Amino acid sequence: MNHNSCNNDPNPFIMVIRFIILGLQLVVGFFIFINTSSWILLSIWVLSIVLYASIARKYICARCEGYGKKCYSLYLGLLTSKLYPYSEDKEFSIGGGLFSVFILGMIFIIPFVPILKNFPSIDNHILLIVYCAFSLVNFLFQFFHACRHCAICSTQEWKKICPSNRLASMIWNRKPESF
């Protein structure tokens, strides 16, 4: 990726693949809850997904350069622009960032609970392995697609604290201090 591509929308084919992988991850997670009859955990998981797609976006996406655009992070810049005004003048909140990370962690971890609770069932193990595989692929797409783009193209000072941005900057030879 060169700096000339920094103002371009993400490749639509890659985004379709990313949405399919995310959708499959969520469907398998849903089947985990159905298969284990974990209705309370399903409710918490769905609430976590809704919080991540809504309130958590206020703390990251509403101040990002991708705001209002088809950003590399699953077009969340477009979604955020429908929910919140741009927050250019506000400083980045560590609490808001931690909230986003916590909610994202909940989305990943909660499907493990009913599987571990019903440990002897081999069907549950297969669902968990498939869920983990889709989660890993989803994470790798996020890191090598969105985080890479952010590390190469971002000019915002507050992104220096993001661990993914720092790692991506090291991999693609762009020091976070050079923003």
The total of other beta-carbon atoms located within 10 Å of residue 157's CB is 11
**Treating both helix axes as pointing N-terminal to C-terminal, what angle do 12-36 and 39-53 enclose, rounded to 10 degrees?**
160
Among candidate residues 103, 141, 150, 169, the one with its CA nearest the CA of residue 24:
141
Convert the pLDDT of each residue in 83-127 to its tens digit: 889 887 667 778 888 898 899 999 999 998 988 887 776 677 888
What's the pLDDT at 176? Answer: 46
Q: Above pLDDT 70, what percent of the chain?
A: 90
| Structure-block tokens of residue 73 | 């992070």
CA nearest neighbour of 89 among 69, 67, 62, 114: 62
Q: Distance from CA of residue 36 to its chain's centroid?
A: 26
Q: Lowest mean pLDDT: which of 2-6, 43-47, 144-148, 169-173?
A: 2-6
pTM of the full structure: 0.84
Helix runs in 37-121, H state only: 39-53, 55-59, 76-83, 94-109, 112-117
pLDDT at 138 over 70: yes
Report the alpha-carbon distance of residue 108 to residue 15 in Å, rounded: 20
DSSP 8-state code for residue 144:
I
Separation in Å, CA 102 to CA 34, 45, 94, 129: 24, 12, 12, 22
Contact indicator for 119, 140 with CB cutoff of 8 Å = no
The mean pLDDT value for 67-95 works out to 85
